[in-house]
Amino acid sequence: MEKVAKGITSFQLKLLGIILMVFDHLGQFFGFLGAPVWFHWMGRLVAPIFLFTSSEGFIYTSNRKKYLLRLLYGFWFMGIGNIIANRFFMNENEVLINNIFGTLFLGVLYMWIIEGIRKNWKLKKPVKVLGGFILGLVPILLSFGAILLMNGLNSNSSLVLFQILTTLVPLPILSEGGPLFILLAVLFYLFHGKKSGQLISLVVIAGISFFAGTGNPFTENYQWMMCLAAVPIILYNGEKGRGMRNFFYYFYPAHIYLFCLIAYFIQH
């Protein structure tokens, strides 16, 4: 009889993340109907869960390039979808910017870069090590380019270039959660197999998020609640469980645009 490991599998962890994500986005799109703030509290656990599973996915995937490409394709799809949604289905004072694929892509990209730098350092290949550092700087430099374009958005050419750049290229400064979430993904990777290091990283990032914000810690500045993701991460048993690789790639954009459409037609 096959022995069942205690704790929760990667499948169960992702499923929990999806359920919590639905509550968070119900609060986002249906706040006008009185959705409670605790929907957003639940949602604070979502990003850490998927950042953690992305680090596990990177380590165990059989093809890291395909893994990166899937995330990039998801980012492109959401980028185009958000443009359409903002043009036709959002109120004037609202902007749809949800696109966690960009954050996940950048996190996994830096994991891949770090792995390459470590490998080539051991093999004494300084040119490839330097190439890794340069590749890591590209998204950061492009972020500065985006900032310059933002400062000139009063011109049509700058607006077009900004939209093209931000739709095609995941940028740390404009990704969901910003550089802190990308850093957390990398820390999860660096401390793989060391739960204490991963949990300390999570708590530190949650603390930085809290002190960087302002307002009531339960009604406005509640990003610190991401530290509660430590509980399911502690329970993770290292097992893959049932496969659901493609489900998230489809469900994430599908439920966001479905909620967007329903909210729009309720209000109109």
SS3 173: helix
The answer, yes or no, to whether residue 35 has pLDDT greater than 60, is yes
Burial of 225 (0-12, 13-18, 19+ CB in 10 A): buried
The secondary structure of residue 61, as a DSSP letter, is: -
The answer, yes or no, to whether residue 267 has pLDDT greater than 60, is yes
Q: In the beta sheet, which residues pair with residue 236?
A: 8
- Written as one string, the DSSP assignment of 99-126 is -HHHHHHHHHHHHHHHHHHHHHHHTT-H
The reported pLDDT for the residue numbered 234 is 97
Q: What is the mean pLDDT of residues 192-211?
A: 97
Task: Give residue 3's pLDDT band: very low, low, confident or very high (50, 70, 90).
Answer: very low
Chain position carrying tokens 């959660």:
177
The answer, yes or no, to whether residue 2 has pLDDT greater than 60, is no
SS3 157: helix
In angstroms and rounded to an integer, the radius of gyration of the C-alpha atoms of the chain is 19
194: phi then psi, degrees, rounded to nearest 5: -125, 85
**The amino acid at 181:** F
Structure tokens at 146: 């985006």
Mean confidence (pLDDT) of the chain: 94
- Give start and end residues of each alpha helix (H) in the chain: 10-29, 38-43, 46-60, 64-88, 100-122, 126-151, 156-168, 178-190, 195-212, 230-235, 245-267
Q: What is the mean pLDDT of residues 26-45?
A: 97
The reported pLDDT for the residue numbered 268 is 87
The answer, yes or no, to whether residue 151 has pLDDT greater than 50, is yes
The reported pLDDT for the residue numbered 1 is 34
Q: What is the mean pLDDT of residues 178-202?
A: 98
The answer, yes or no, to whether residue 155 has pLDDT greater than 80, is no
Beta carbons of 24 and 50 less than 8 angstroms apart: no
Percent pLDDT > 70 in the chain is 98
Beta carbons of 25 and 261 less than 8 angstroms apart: no
The reported pLDDT for the residue numbered 196 is 97
Q: Identify which has the larger pLDDT, 7 or 244.
A: 7
* Residue 163 half-sphere exposure toward CB, CA atoms < 13 A: 13
Q: What is the mean pLDDT of residues 141-164?
A: 85
- CA torsion 127-70-245-16 (nearest 10°) is 90
Structure tokens at 68: 């990166």
Structure tokens at 75: 């980012």
Q: What is the mean pLDDT of residues 152-172?
A: 86
SS3 211: helix
**Cβ of 246: how many Cβ atoms within 10 Å?**
9
**Cβ of 171: how many Cβ atoms within 10 Å?**
20
The reported pLDDT for the residue numbered 153 is 66
The reported pLDDT for the residue numbered 5 is 65
Rounded to whole angstroms, the Cα distance separating 28 from 98 reads: 10
**The amino acid at 94:** E
Q: What is the mean pLDDT of residues 59-70?
A: 94
